[in-house]
């Protein structure tokens, strides 16, 4: 796709008014949004109002920024400084939360994001209590604070705990949130809550923000949650022009109120113009045919039928043979001449991912368990970024009164360039098994653990000498050998080699927004049934997202004991059975 289609061009050239764009998967939303922002900013001329282009993942934002730089190179009338490209949450945090929320929160410092490892969170005053429908109430552990969900229902906040796909009531949400607020602490969800409070309680700020951001375009708008929605509505009411672009059929964050309904309804609002993107530039026709069948859409494929292996297939599997299925998929990807590094096995939940990657074993406890998980990420999956983030969290938990947002500072170089030397120190420790985080093939209790303790202490000493970070006085307890097995963390045979790289294994939620050469969706029976039923349920939409990630090859893993009953429906939808053609 080297030029804009007629559909895309009509969106780019539209008047500077609120718009809603319903786009199919693979329709070039990113490209269209960047061109639209450029045209908007040029049409604004010398107007000082800023245009904000927002999305919901760092990957999308990085793509936006790169495309924007490329397309505007040498253009002088854009006023680049008046275009801001960021994630929705980062925009809220930077514009509202950090500079202004301290007044509403009642704290005397800049609010900071907690990692869950901060010692003060052990105080009972900062414990959320969950009240299940059946059973006794229990406290939320600090490391699970990210599972506390805040939504607005009829204008009132609700606090719930996400557990095994269910939302459980928290019986002291407002009180604990207020106590955390007095020290400036927030999670991502609590940050959205406080930002909404700020705009409702500081009307002058709301007016100022609306003047500053005269136009806001939100990509992947099906991911707008209830608090995001409330903030956008406030800004719109104060004068910001809000435009949304997305695919309601990819709304898979229902727990946060992000089910695509806001995007669908926005186009029906008075004064909002509606547009569509109906051409798929990603998937081969065979995959798009199934996507259309599932969503009742009639999108057209831009791609021609390739000569190499392609299509949408299903295959039965037994739970005990999941690794063999992954191996068969890997072989099919290679045989089709597709890129293994741009392919993935995806699952409905994180627990299944941990089982497939071998990260579900209980190895150590507390900080040692997290270090072990980091070593496995690095050595078995070659997932250096996950290992790096895990190590950063471990280091923060081993410090006395660590600086606010330390993990964020270490792991986000674009936002905190001043922490380059500290980041390099942690990154070097993470990457190097010879001098840093020990190799996971070592005997865990007699080799790996002693080396870990020795090297972590040496690292903490360097952090104190060079960066002024003070290690905890109870390192012996925090780095205890409890539950460290008398075996290697992983077997040598599990190590990846250049000749036999493992395929990526992840959740559907983590690959949303990506374009992958080949996808294996490893589903349970009810997942397959929901997929076949269409996009009216969240599980059905999750299946739709899985299908539409694939460019050339899609495999659906169906439990063997459900294969006979599901086969007719799968065939009628257009799937082929592996090994029958």
* Cβ-Cβ contacts under 8 Å for 432 (sequence gap 6 or more): none
Residue 440 and residue 372 in contact, taking contact as beta carbons nearer than 8 Å: yes
Per-residue pLDDT, 497: 45
> For the segment 19-61, what is each residue's pLDDT rounded down to a tens digit?
999 999 999 999 999 999 999 999 998 888 999 999 998 888 9
Least Cα distance to 271 among 17, 462, 94 occurs for 17
Per-residue pLDDT, 68: 93
- Distance, in Å, from the CA atom of 128 to the CA atom of 217, rounded to the nearest integer, reads 35
Name the least confident of 50-59, 108-117, 282-291: 108-117
Per-residue pLDDT, 268: 93
pLDDT(252) > 60: yes
pLDDT band at 162 (very low <50, low <70, confident <90, very high): very high
Whole-number percent of the chain with pLDDT over 90: 74
Residue spans of alpha helices (H) in 136-187: 173-182
Least Cα distance to 308 among 577, 26, 518 occurs for 518
- Distance, in Å, from the CA atom of 336 to the CA atom of 306, rounded to the nearest integer, reads 11
User: What's the whole-number average pLDDT of the chain?
Assistant: 92
Q: Please state the φ and ψ torsions of residue 276, each to the nearest 5 degrees.
A: -135, 150
**Between 188-201 and 98-105, two packed helices, what is the crossing angle to 10 degrees?**
80
pLDDT(263) > 90: yes
Number of alpha carbons in the 13 Å side-chain half-sphere of residue 165: 7
CA distance readout (Å), 290 to 89, 242, 528: 34, 33, 14
Domains (ranges, CATH) in the chain?
Answer: 6-92+197-280 (3.40.50.300), 105-189 (no CATH), 285-355+501-577 (3.40.50.300), 359-489 (no CATH)
- Distance, in Å, from the CA atom of 14 to the CA atom of 6, rounded to the nearest integer, reads 12
- Distance, in Å, from the CA atom of 444 to the CA atom of 464, rounded to the nearest integer, reads 28
Q: What is the DSSP letter of 244?
A: E
CA distance readout (Å), 332 to 58, 414, 551: 31, 38, 14
Q: In whole angstroms, what separates CA 211 from the centre of its chain?
A: 30
How wide is the angle at C-alpha 152 spanned by C-alphas 120 and 101, nearest 5°? 50
pLDDT(3) > 70: yes
- Distance, in Å, from the CA atom of 429 to the CA atom of 133, rounded to the nearest integer, reads 45
Q: Is 260 exposed, middle or buried (0-12, 13-18, 19+ CB in 10 A)?
A: buried
> For the segment 295-341, what is each residue's pLDDT rounded down to a tens digit?
999 999 999 998 888 999 999 999 989 989 999 999 999 999 999 99
Question: How many CB atoms within 10 Å of residue 579?
Answer: 9
Give me Rg for the CA atoms of the chain. 25
Per-residue pLDDT, 363: 80
Secondary structure (3-state) at 286: helix
pLDDT(397) > 60: yes
171's tokens: 């019986």
Q: Please state the φ and ψ torsions of residue 383, each to the nearest 5 degrees.
A: -100, 80
Per-residue pLDDT, 58: 82
Name the least confident of 204-213, 503-512, 545-554: 503-512
Q: Strands, E, within 195-352: which ranges?
A: 213-218, 241-246, 273-277, 279-280, 300-301, 311-317, 343-347
Per-residue pLDDT, 288: 97
Residue 250 and residue 222 in contact, taking contact as beta carbons nearer than 8 Å: yes
Residue 318 and residue 562 in contact, taking contact as beta carbons nearer than 8 Å: no
- Distance, in Å, from the CA atom of 267 to the CA atom of 332, rounded to the nearest integer, reads 42
83-91: average pLDDT? 95
Residue 162 and residue 147 in contact, taking contact as beta carbons nearer than 8 Å: yes
Whole-number percent of the chain with pLDDT over 70: 96
Q: Which residue has the higher pLDDT, 94 or 406?
A: 94
Residue appearing with tokens 């559907």? 508
Residue 263 and residue 544 in contact, taking contact as beta carbons nearer than 8 Å: no
Question: How many CB atoms within 10 Å of residue 428?
Answer: 12
> For the segment 212-240, what is each residue's pLDDT rounded down to a tens digit?
999 999 999 999 999 999 999 999 999 99
Per-residue pLDDT, 328: 94
pLDDT(174) > 90: yes
* Cβ-Cβ contacts under 8 Å for 511 (sequence gap 6 or more): 344, 346, 519, 549
> For the segment 424-448, what is each residue's pLDDT rounded down to a tens digit?
999 999 999 999 999 999 999 999 9
Phi-psi domain of 239 (left: phi exceeds 0; alpha: psi -120 through 50; beta: other): left
Per-residue pLDDT, 492: 59
Q: What is the DSSP letter of 104?
A: H
Per-residue pLDDT, 493: 53
148-162: average pLDDT? 94
Per-residue pLDDT, 361: 55
For the chain, helix (H) and strand (E) counts, in that order, are 23, 21
- Distance, in Å, from the CA atom of 110 to the CA atom of 358, rounded to the nearest integer, reads 40
SS3 of 344-387: the string is EEEECCHHHHHHHHCCCCCCCCHHHHHHHHHHHHHHHCCCHHHH
- Distance, in Å, from the CA atom of 165 to the CA atom of 170, rounded to the nearest integer, reads 16
């Amino acid at each position: 796709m080297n030029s804009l289609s007629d559909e895309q061009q009509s969106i780019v050239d539209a008047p500077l008014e609120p718009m809603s764009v319903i786009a199919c998967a693979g329709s070039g939303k990113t490209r269209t949004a960047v061109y639209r922002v450029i045209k908007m900013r040029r049409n604004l001329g010398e107007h000082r109002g800023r245009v904000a282009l927002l999305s919901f993942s760092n990957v999308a934002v990085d793509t936006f920024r790169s495309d924007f730089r490329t397309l505007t190179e040498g253009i002088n009338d854009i006023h680049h400084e008046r275009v801001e490209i960021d994630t929705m949450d980062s925009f809220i945090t930077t514009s509202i939360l950090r500079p202004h929320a301290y007044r509403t929160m009642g704290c005397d410092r800049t609010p900071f994001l907690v990692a869950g490892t901060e010692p003060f969170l052990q105080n009972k005053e900062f414990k959320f209590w969950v009240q299940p429908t059946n059973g006794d109430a229990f406290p939320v552990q600090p490391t699970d604070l990210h599972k506390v969900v805040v939504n607005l229902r009829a204008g009132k906040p609700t606090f719930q705990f996400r557990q095994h796909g269910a939302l459980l009531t928290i019986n002291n949400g407002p009180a604990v949130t207020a106590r955390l607020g007095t020290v400036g602490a927030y999670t991502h969800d609590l940050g959205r809550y406080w930002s909404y409070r700020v705009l409702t309680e500081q009307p002058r700020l709301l007016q100022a923000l609306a003047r500053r951001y005269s136009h806001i375009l939100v990509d992947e708008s099906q991911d707008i949650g209830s608090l995001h929605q409330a903030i956008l509505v406030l800004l719109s009411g104060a004068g910001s022009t809000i435009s949304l672009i997305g695919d309601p059929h990819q709304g898979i964050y229902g727990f946060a109120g992000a089910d695509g309904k806001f995007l669908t309804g926005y186009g029906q609002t008075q004064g909002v113009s509606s547009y569509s993107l109906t051409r798929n530039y990603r998937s081969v026709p065979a995959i798009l045919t199934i996507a259309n069948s599932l969503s009742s859409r009639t999108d057209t494929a831009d791609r021609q039928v390739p000569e190499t292996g392609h299509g949408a297939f299903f295959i039965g599997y037994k739970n005990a043979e999941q690794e063999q299925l992954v191996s068969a998929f890997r072989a099919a990807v290679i045989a089709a001449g597709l890129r293994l590094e741009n392919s993935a096995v995806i699952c409905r939940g994180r627990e299944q991912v941990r089982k497939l990657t071998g990260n579900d074993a209980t190895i150590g406890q507390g900080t040692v368990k997290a270090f072990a998980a980091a070593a496995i990420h690095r050595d078995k999956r070659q997932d250096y970024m996950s290992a790096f983030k895990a190590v950063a969290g471990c280091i923060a938990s081993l410090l006395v009164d660590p600086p606010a947002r330390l993990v964020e500072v270490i792991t986000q170089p674009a936002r905190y360039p001043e922490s380059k030397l500290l980041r390099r120190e942690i990154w070097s420790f993470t990457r190097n098994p010879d001098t840093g985080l020990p190799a996971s093939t070592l005997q865990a209790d007699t080799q790996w653990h002693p080396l870990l303790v020795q090297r972590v202490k040496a690292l903490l000493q360097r952090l104190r000498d060079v960066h002024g970070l003070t290690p905890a006085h109870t390192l012996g307890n925090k780095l205890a050998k409890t539950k460290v097995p008398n075996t290697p963390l992983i077997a040598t045979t599990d190590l990846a080699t250049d000749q036999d790289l493992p395929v990526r294994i992840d959740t559907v939620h983590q690959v949303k927004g990506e374009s992958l050469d080949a996808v294996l969706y490893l589903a349970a029976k009810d997942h397959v049934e929901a997929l076949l039923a269409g996009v009216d349920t969240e599980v059905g939409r999750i299946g739709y997202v899985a299908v539409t990630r694939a460019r050339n090859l899609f495999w659906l893993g169906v439990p063997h004991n459900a294969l006979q009953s599901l086969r007719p429906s799968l065939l009628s939808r257009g799937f082929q059975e592996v090994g029958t053609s």
